[in-house]
Amino acid sequence: MARRPIPIRVKPKDLTEIDQLLRGGIQQVRVILRALVLQQLAGGATAPSVAQTLPFTPKAIRQIAHRYNSSGLQRALYDKQRPGASEVLDNSQKQRIIAMVCSNPPVGRARWTVRLIAEQAVKRKLVPKVGRETIRILLQSHDLKPWREKKLVHRGAGRRIHPQHGGRAGGLRETLQPGPTRGLSG
């Protein structure tokens, strides 16, 4: 048993808009195909005959026709806006994490890693929880690569006196002791 044809009457105003859309510039492929479906249905074609010429199933063609009849041309051509996932970090949290990355890494670490940034952001209570991928994308969007920059930490570097001759510096106590000078020729 064959289905009865869908009664569709495309308004003349909508037909001119479809013609302009098809002649116009760059559009999404799905929008162009849907416009072609409506144009052929307005010419009196049935869903199975349109399905032979365009890459749609008869069911999809009937859905496009039903959307046009119930909600108009825009709803038939374009998809509804999808909500998408909300952002994990708000702007203030992003700024705090970036500021943390721009500072020196924790004691005992030479550089920041993505994993270390995620751990420290939670530990310092900048965010309740955050994943490594979120941190990686945040750093990438700000063109930051902290794992490449080594923050050199020399333990006790200020306690040595460097001799003028360029030799190895001895300890502070050895340099200040009276007696013959070691390594210095006068």
Q: Which two tokens stand for residue 35?
A: 């416009």
Nearest to 34 by CA among 4, 2, 66: 66
Q: Which two tokens stand for residue 186?
A: 């006068």
Nearest to 57 by CA among 37, 42, 43: 37
Confidence of residue 172 (pLDDT cuts 50, 70, 90): low
Over the stretch 125-136, which tens digit does the pLDDT of each residue have?
999 999 999 999
pTM score, two decimals?
A: 0.48
Task: Report the alpha-carbon distance of residue 129 to residue 51 in Å, rounded.
Answer: 50
Over the stretch 80-127, which tens digit does the pLDDT of each residue have?
888 888 888 999 999 999 999 989 999 999 899 999 999 999 999 999
Q: Which two tokens stand for residue 56?
A: 């749609």
Over the stretch 10-38, which tens digit does the pLDDT of each residue have?
888 998 999 998 998 888 899 999 999 99
Task: Report the alpha-carbon distance of residue 99 to residue 117 in Å, rounded.
Answer: 11
Q: Which two tokens stand for residue 94?
A: 């992003």
| Per-residue buried b or exposed e for 73-87, using 16+ beta carbons within 10 Å of the residue's own CB | beebbeeeeeeeeee
- Dihedral sign for Cα 178, 180, 184, 186, please: positive
Determine the residue type at 3.
Answer: R
Burial of residue 112, with CB atoms counted within 10 A of its CB: 0-12 exposed, 13-18 middle, 19 or more buried = buried
Burial of residue 14, with CB atoms counted within 10 A of its CB: 0-12 exposed, 13-18 middle, 19 or more buried = buried
Task: Report the alpha-carbon distance of residue 99 to residue 41 in Å, rounded.
Answer: 59
Q: For the chain, what are the domain ranges?
A: 12-77, 91-148
